[in-house]
Amino acid sequence: MKSSLLLTLLASARTVLTTNPPIRNIYTFPKNHFIENIAVRSNSNLLITSMSVPELFSIDPTVTSPTASIVHSFPNCTGISGIAEITPGLFALVTGTWDLANTRANLGSIAIWTVDFNKPPAHRIKFITTVANSTILNGITRHSINPTLLMAADSAAGSVWRINLLTGSSSVAFSHPLLQPTGTAMEGLHLGINGLKSQGTHLYFTNSAQKFFAKVAVDFFGNQIGNIQIISNSTAAGTAGNVVYDDIALDVNGVTGKGFAWIASHPDYAVRVAVGGTTGGEQMVVRNGTVLLNPTAAAFGRGSAKERRTLYVTNGGEFTPEFELINEGVVALDL
């Protein structure tokens, strides 16, 4: 515990810079679409999930006036949380029957599906399994050296699940106090491990409640190896200490472990964190209360050189006095 505290203090003390890149609105959804996550296809199209509707959306951000088309409407659920590419053109996602006020799903409703864009539309969707003992699988990622395994963040239990996409078997890979939430009511405090990405032998993750971004090594079967290493602390990213880390876009070299992570952060931040090297833990903050509206996830564009320099950020939106959700959608940061 002492070493973890020391790492947290060191991460908090890193330099924090500010920047102001151009931000473009790509698409705004109709009201009451809580936009949760994003993945990007090789053809540049954005795949967008919402926890308040059961549709997977596709948006072409390269056209003059983007629209959101429905890829598929999933049965027996109210929304979709995490999404990740497993192999080229094959994406996994999580559905559930959600209680959005508590950010939990009905026990037994969490399900894993794949969407294969290499197949014709009529054969793209495949049900994999139900994860009966979890109330939230949040960020998900493929295991970077074992493509049969999907790794998933359980924000309520403070654990990482492994799901075998070939057999449908699922189990808790590991749990840890540094993965757990710290409360059940206030925004952020009821979500422990949240965003999750893999690179090389490591999983990179955020803990919203405990306010840090970290990495942990895993073996071929997804088991934890060694200690969790805290990279940065969200309390250092905002002067009011109000920054809540959510999901991650990772740009890290799998061999050297150096690079950057962009973290979508509530209420109106995108935070770049240096990973590895002498600047590891250094944060660069983008803040914009006009176009960054409770950011939930981020992903780099794919395709042209311009797209690869673009960071797409999903907005969860903001509530009106009548408690309607508005201005949820996706924006682009031109880096």
Give the pLDDT confidence of 117-133 residue by residue, as tens digits.
999 999 999 999 999 99
- CATH number for 75: 2.120.10.30
- The residue segments making up the domain with residue 215 are 2-17+40-264
Q: How far apart are CA 151 and CA 169, in angstroms?
A: 12
**Confidence class for position 187, pLDDT limits 50, 70, 90:** low
**Domain tally, the chain:** 1
Spatial neighbors of 115 by CB under 8 A, at least 6 apart, are 47, 56, 71, 72, 90, 91, 92, 93, 124, 125, 126
> What mean pLDDT value characterizes the chain?
92
Q: Which residues pair with 298 in a beta bridge?
A: 313
**Confidence class for position 306, pLDDT limits 50, 70, 90:** very high
Residue 159 lies in a domain: yes
Per the listing, tokens 């029957």 go with 97
Question: Using one digit for the tens of pLDDT, what is the confidence trace for 135-146?
Answer: 999 999 999 999
Residue 260 lies in a domain: yes
**Confidence class for position 15, pLDDT limits 50, 70, 90:** low
Question: Using one digit for the tens of pLDDT, what is the confidence trace for 35-71?
Answer: 999 999 999 999 999 999 999 999 999 999 999 999 9
Residue 9 lies in a domain: yes
Residue 160 lies in a domain: yes
Residue 123, SS3 per DSSP? helix
Q: How far is CA 32 from CA 79, 109, 121, 126, 233, in A?
A: 12, 21, 27, 27, 31
- Higher per-residue confidence, 76 vs 11: 76
Question: How many other β-carbons are positioned within 10 Å of the β-carbon of residue 321?
Answer: 5
Q: How far apart are CA 246 and CA 270, in angstroms?
A: 10
pTM over 0.75: yes
329 near 28, Cβ under 8 Å?
yes
**Confidence class for position 5, pLDDT limits 50, 70, 90:** very low
Residue 108 lies in a domain: yes
Residue 55 lies in a domain: yes
Sequential DSSP letters for 246-294:
EEEEEEE-TTT--EEEEEEEETTEEEEEEESSTTTT-EEEEE-TTT--S
Residue 129 lies in a domain: yes
Is the confidence at residue 169, as pLDDT, over 60? Answer: yes
Question: Using one digit for the tens of pLDDT, what is the confidence trace for 230-265?
Answer: 999 999 997 777 899 999 999 998 888 899 999 999
Residue 93, SS3 per DSSP? strand
Question: Using one digit for the tens of pLDDT, what is the confidence trace for 205-227?
Answer: 999 999 999 999 999 999 999 99
pLDDT at position 185 is 60
163 near 147, Cβ under 8 Å?
no
Residue 59 lies in a domain: yes
Task: Write the single-letter amino acid at 321.
Answer: P
Calculate what percentage of the chain has a pLDDT beyond 90: 84
pLDDT at position 7 is 44
